[in-house]
Structures are given as C-alpha cells and as structure tokens.
C-alpha cells in the first residue's frame, strides 16, 4: 500500500472517530472504503462489462428508442 497524508476538518475527523468505534474498524479502513466507493461510482462506462453489448445488435429502424412502442406493440 502507498502511504498518504492529508488534512480533515475537525468535525469530519470527529465523525470518522465515532464511526470507527461504532463499526470497530480503523479510520484508515473507513477512508479506504470511502475512496473505493467514490472510484467505483466514477468508473468509466467503457470499463463496465455491460458496455461490450452496446452496438452488438443491428436494426433497420434508426428511431427505435423514440418509437419503441410502435415497433414492439404496433402502436402508432
């Protein structure tokens, strides 16, 4: 692991102390979990395994997203 140093506002540090005691885990582990969560939320869409299916199918209709009811159910 890499070592990092940073500053926290006192109120945030107090909350981190409280949560650490409540969850019986170190403050460092809570911070790592938080960073993992943020990184996962901001993960590039291209890294999502489901992204591979984008464009896999072909259709004659080019307005399928706007006119899906028409094509699926025959509705005007």
Q: What is the CATH number of the domain that holds 19?
A: 1.10.1220
Please report the pLDDT score of residue 66 as a whole number: 82
Structure tokens belonging to residue 32:
């790592």
- 67 is a domain residue: no
* Torsions phi, psi for 19 (to 5 deg): -65, -40
Domain hosting residue 26, numbered range:
7-55
Question: Would you give the DSSP letter of residue 67?
Answer: S
Residue 16 lies in a domain: yes
Is residue 73 domain-resident? no
DSSP letter assigned to residue 47 = G
| Any domain includes 60 | no
Q: What is the mean pLDDT of residues 60-76?
A: 77
Domain contains 71: no
DSSP state of 50: G
Give the percent of the chain with pLDDT over 90: 50
Q: Is residue 27 a contact partner of residue 20, using CB atoms and an 8 Å limit? A: yes
**How many domains are there within the chain?**
1
pLDDT in tens, 25-53: 999 999 999 999 998 888 777 777 777 78
Please state, rounded to an integer, the average pLDDT across all residues of the chain: 87
Asked whether residue 68 is assigned to any structural domain, the reply reads no
């Amino acid at each position: 692991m890499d070592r990092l140093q940073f500053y926290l506002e006192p109120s945030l540090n107090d909350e981190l102390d409280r949560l650490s005691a409540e969850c019986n885990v170190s403050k460092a582990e809570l911070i790592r979990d938080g960073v993992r969560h943020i990184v996962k939320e901001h993960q590039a869409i291209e890294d999502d395994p489901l992204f591979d299916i984008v464009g896999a199918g072909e259709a004659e209709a080019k307005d399928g997203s706007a006119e899906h009811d028409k094509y699926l159910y025959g509705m005007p």
